[in-house]
Amino acid sequence: MIATADGPHPGLSAPPKITEVETHGVEPIPDAERSAGPLDLFRLVFGGANTIATVVLGSFPIIFGLSFRDALLATLAGLVLGAIILAPMALFGPRNGTNNAVSSSAHLGVHGRVVGSFLSLLTAVAFFSISVWTSGDVLVGGASRAVGMDPNAAPNDVAVGVAYGIFALLVLIVCIYGFRFMLLVNKVAVIAATVLFLLGIIAFGGTFDPSYAGIFGADADAATNALYWPSFVGAALIVMSNPVSFGAFLGDWARYIPRETPAWKSMSAAFLAQIATLVPFLFGLVTATVVATNASTYMEEGNYVGGLLAVSPGWYFIPVCLIALIGGMSTGTTALYGTGLDFSSVFPRFSRVQATVLIGAIAIAFIFVGRFAFNVVQSISTFAVLIVTCTAPWMVVMMIGWFVRRGWYDSDALQVFNRRQRGGRYWFTHGWNWRGLGAWLVSAALSICFVNLPGQFVGPLGNLAAGIDLSIPVGLGLAAVLYPALLFAFPEPADAFGPDGPRVVPAGPPANTPIISVDTPSETAAVR
């Protein structure tokens, strides 16, 4: 009997050593090797978000001009709503033993599942880059201040490049070893980073003013006060984007959880992990208030990181460097691991390790070229927001699909694409389920039209609600209406559902499409 973080599980084989390279790709994890538990999922999700990158997101409500009280309310609203939306995405991994992109074959089709894979790839590369850039800059800046260098001096590009390189290579090594090594890193990160953040209570307790009023209020002019609600909603949506960004990745880690694990445990792990990120969010919120009060020039320039280093007491520079190092490792590994896994699922001839090395090398090259040759740091942040905006309606399609399927999936049929086969109960129309794809495509396209990121990207409908960014609410709401409507109007084949049939929606005649290996033109023609 092998014990997991949640207690003993009979019938499990001994888990591989931490230093043993993981060989599993997106094929279903055998039941005997599923030795992780919901607590491990909590550590991975929380560890991946307990970082400087999340701290920077936490500073946005203050940058937008909100008072500390209103910024706290916006943060709580965005975080709780995002965690509620994210939680059901933890169900697919334990049920199917594979990542969420592969599981999406049941709702978008054998070929349509590449939508989820590419959303994951783009999100992971974007957040890996942001993690390395943010952590590297903080590490170099904090180390420079710790040794007494001029606080107004610009960071040395060579030092910054070395920091980026160290971060990126360490992350790549961890991801090559795989799930167990990544879990160890995040176990350390959860405790260490949290302790270092809590030290901030001592570091900033004397300078923090909870009555900070922001730019809105009785003394502000009418034009300024008219921006209050756009700022409040925008701040909440930026916070919400953090938990939503994990939606495509939860299956990467949850696939090692035994399939008999109660659904509420996996969902609770994902939900509570996001609620726990109040630690870095509040750190960002409090320190942004201190910066706005004592070093407002930095906030006016949008340079929160520089302001953080400027207001930090000398003894806290080392903890800030450690936060950057630990957080960069945990965020980078959770992002890049999923990238390699998804790439190997889209191009099955690559093993997980080969795909991780290839994508890691491309991502590292992008980090250096993007930072030093084209300075696309702000642009990639905008790109990440747009990708998250497109991911939200995809998550809705997945969750509604789970509901109408009663949580029943044919794991063998989900693997048709990866095995270079055709057919099966999720073949639909030449491998595409236009019901799920149509709902996602329309919702994502309209959602992007409502994006409002002043100074970065404003969609054609971005100013329709007096400057309030409605992108994610529009994407979520439209997908929640459009996908069920398509399922009612154009029922899916009966054999796409389990033995109990669909829930709520009707079913059409069974397709009875056999799974075959496509080796000859005649076989290909037969399936088409």
- Nearest CA to 109 out of 439, 386, 341 is that of 439
Block residue for tokens 């079913």: 507
Q: Are strands 492-493 and 507-508 parallel, antiparallel or unpaired?
A: parallel
What is the spatial distance between Cα 316 and Cα 154, in angstroms, rounded to a whole number? 20
Is 253 within 8 Å of 90 (Cβ atoms)?
no
Is 447 within 8 Å of 475 (Cβ atoms)?
yes
What are 244-284's pLDDT values in tens digits?
989 988 999 999 999 999 999 999 999 999 999 999 999 99
**What 3-state class would DSSP assign to 456?**
coil
What are 376-394's pLDDT values in tens digits?
776 777 888 888 899 999 9
Start-end of H helices in 178-212: 179-198, 200-204
Q: Which helix (H) or strand (E) holds 7?
A: strand 7-9
pLDDT score of 6: 52
- Nearest CA to 324 out of 308, 303, 301 is that of 308
For the CA atoms of the chain, what is the radius of gyration?
23
Q: Are strands 457-458 and 7-9 parallel, antiparallel or unpaired?
A: unpaired
User: Which residue type is seen at 11?
Assistant: G
Q: Which DSSP string do the residues of 339-357 spell out, in sequence order?
A: HHHHHHHHSTTS-HHHHHH
Question: Tokens representing 466?
Answer: 């007096």
What is the spatial distance between Cα 326 and Cα 309, in angstroms, rounded to a whole number? 17
Is 79 within 8 Å of 235 (Cβ atoms)?
no
Is 59 within 8 Å of 287 (Cβ atoms)?
yes
Residue 191 Rama label (left phi>0; alpha psi -120 to 50; beta): alpha
User: Which residue type is seen at 114?
Assistant: V
What is the spatial distance between Cα 120 and Cα 357, in angstroms, rounded to a whole number? 17
For residue 3, the cross-strand partners are 8
Q: Is the dihedral of CA 397, 402, 405, 409 positive or negative?
A: positive
Block residue for tokens 């500073």: 59
Looking at domain 45-252+259-527, does it have CATH number 3.40.1360.10?
no
Question: Tokens representing 342?
Answer: 């998804």
DSSP state of 33: G
Q: Which DSSP string do the residues of 410-464 spell out, in sequence order?
A: -HHHHTTTTTTEE-STT-TBTTB-HHHHHHHHHHHHHHHHT-EETTTEE-TTTTT
64-79 exposure pattern, b = at least 16 Cβ within 10 A, e = fewer? bbbbbebbbbbbbbbb
Ranges of the chain whose pLDDT falls below 50: 1-5, 7-8, 520-528
Q: Which DSSP string do the residues of 226-265 spell out, in sequence order?
A: TTHHHHHHHHHHHHHHHHHTTTTTHHHHHTTS-TTS-HHH
Is 416 within 8 Å of 517 (Cβ atoms)?
no
Q: Which residues contact 498 (CB under 8 A, 6 or more apart)?
A: 405, 406, 408
Q: Which DSSP string do the residues of 94-116 spell out, in sequence order?
A: HHHSS-HHHHTHHHH-TTTTHHH
Could you state, in order of their start, the residue ranges of all structural domains in the chain? Answer: 45-252+259-527
Question: Tokens representing 130?
Answer: 């942001």
CA distance readout (Å), 160 to 329, 367, 368, 489:
16, 12, 10, 56
Q: Which DSSP string do the residues of 43-70 spell out, in sequence order?
A: HHHHHHHSSHHHHHHHHHHHHTT--HHH
CA distance readout (Å), 446 to 1, 394, 442:
52, 13, 6
What is the spatial distance between Cα 175 and Cα 126, in angstroms, rounded to a whole number? 17
What is the spatial distance between Cα 443 and Cα 440, in angstroms, rounded to a whole number? 5
What is the spatial distance between Cα 327 and Cα 321, in angstroms, rounded to a whole number? 10
Is 51 within 8 Å of 331 (Cβ atoms)?
yes
pLDDT score of 523: 42
What are 156-191's pLDDT values in tens digits?
788 888 888 888 888 889 899 888 888 888 888 889
